[in-house]
Amino acid sequence: MAIGANVYYEDVTVGDEIPQLEKGPLTTAHLMRWSAAMENWHKIHYDKPFAIEHDKLPALLINGSLKQQFVMQLLTDWAGPDGWVWKASFQFRAMNVVDETLRIWGRVSAKRDGPGYGLVDIELGIVNDKGKESTPGKATVALPYRGGKPVPYPFVPPQA
Amino acid sequence: MSILSEAVKKYIGMQSETEIACDSVERGAVRRYAQAVMNEDPIFFANCANNERYGGAVAPPLYPTHLFRRPFGAPDPIQENARNPDFDGIVAAISSQGLPEIEPLKGYALLNGGSEIEFFRYARHGETVKLTSRYADITEKETSKGPIILVITESEFRNGDGDLLIRTRRTQIRRK
């Protein structure tokens, strides 16, 4: 599927894998660039002696906030210009360290009709180059019906 | 032994004043952010067909959550801590999303435990962003490495017109 293309609710089946995203290897320069962009100076992401000797970490850590960005790119790329990523949740269960390559993945776990659009639940996560999962999460994406209108913007959630 | 004192529990339910980010959504800051996350989608820098319905160029979805930075004239914690070997670089005003720092947890390590986020609209270039937060819950949990404290913060980010952009529920892990 080309990035920027629309995916329609009818074309989605429970169990479908959504196109994966790969980021990395993520070097100290990547981590420093992200820390500078968001002006967060937590040393465990760029000060190796502090991370290892003071905070007793194995290495510089890849920011959880950076991993969230990758998950959001996975979801928004898939939702397409007429869809909308309504909800996303992440748990930082394990550390990812500098120089790892991350593979961000998602799988359709459920779908249901909504008011003028369809809702698709997704299980997701981030796996490093050793195959270890670090960031399990869930998302709900609103998709347009084929032949229907784009998902309303600003997004109005369905009534409970 | 519990590390969750009554003094810490008093912070549960505390709500922040509405804070306005010191900078509006600026094109250059969006560029640095998009390049840092390695997602240079044209909707973030140009008027194009894919952002027409958003009203023009927008910031990446989570951008508003990172917009609350140290304003001009505020104390500089990096300079203030230049000779403090235990300073971890965390700037409290940023990490606590506009809420007062939990005083009894000063000096505890801080890790990001995860987030639940709802998205309603993007922040457009030129818009201001406002933040209101509250400490929704603070609990203790036993782990193999000893007790930890989980601080749950709920926040709403709105644009200058008061339109809801994002709602977040964030877990911070604090440990001695």
Q: What is the pLDDT of residues B120-134, one digit of tens each?
A: 999 999 999 999 999
Categorize the per-residue pLDDT at B92 as very low, low, confident or very high, splitting at 50, 70 and 90.
Answer: low
Joined together, the tokens standing for residue A96 give 């990812």
Average pLDDT over residues A14-26: 98
Residue A121 has pLDDT above 70, yes or no: yes
CB B149 within 8 A of CB B175: yes
Contact A72 B116 (CB under 8 A): no
Categorize the per-residue pLDDT at A1 as very low, low, confident or very high, splitting at 50, 70 and 90.
Answer: low
pLDDT over 90, % of chain B: 78
Residues of A in contact with B38 (CB under 8 A): 23
Residues of B in contact with A155 (CB under 8 A): 119-121
The number of beta carbons lying within 10 Å of the beta carbon of residue A57 is: 17
pLDDT of B100 reads: 87
Q: What would the 3-class secondary structure string for chain B be?
A: CCCCCHHHHCCCCCECCCEECCCCCCHHHHHHHHHHCCCCCHHHCCCCHHHHHHCCCECCCCHHHHCCCCCCCCCCHHHHCCCCCCCCCCCHHHHCCCCCCCHHHCCCEEEEEEEEEEECCCCECCCCEEEEEEEEEEEEEEECCEEEEEEEEEEEEEECCCCEEEEEEEEEEEEC
Class of domain B6-175: alpha beta
Joined together, the tokens standing for residue B35 give 């390049």
Contact B66 A86 (CB under 8 A): no
Q: What is the pLDDT of residues A40-81, one digit of tens each?
A: 999 999 999 999 999 999 999 999 999 999 999 999 999 999
Using CA atoms, how far apart are residues B119 and B24, in angstroms rounded to an integer? 19
Superfamily for A9-24+70-143?
Answer: Hotdog Thioesterase (3.10.129.10)
Categorize the per-residue pLDDT at A3 as very low, low, confident or very high, splitting at 50, 70 and 90.
Answer: low
A23 reaches B (C-beta below 8 A)? yes
Q: pTM for this one?
A: 0.92
Q: What is the pLDDT of residues A100-120, one digit of tens each?
A: 999 999 999 999 999 999 999
Spell out the domain ranges in chain B: 6-175
The number of beta carbons lying within 10 Å of the beta carbon of residue B135 is: 23
Q: What is the mean pLDDT of chain B?
A: 92
Provide ipTM, 2 decimals. Answer: 0.95
Residues of A in contact with B116 (CB under 8 A): 87-89
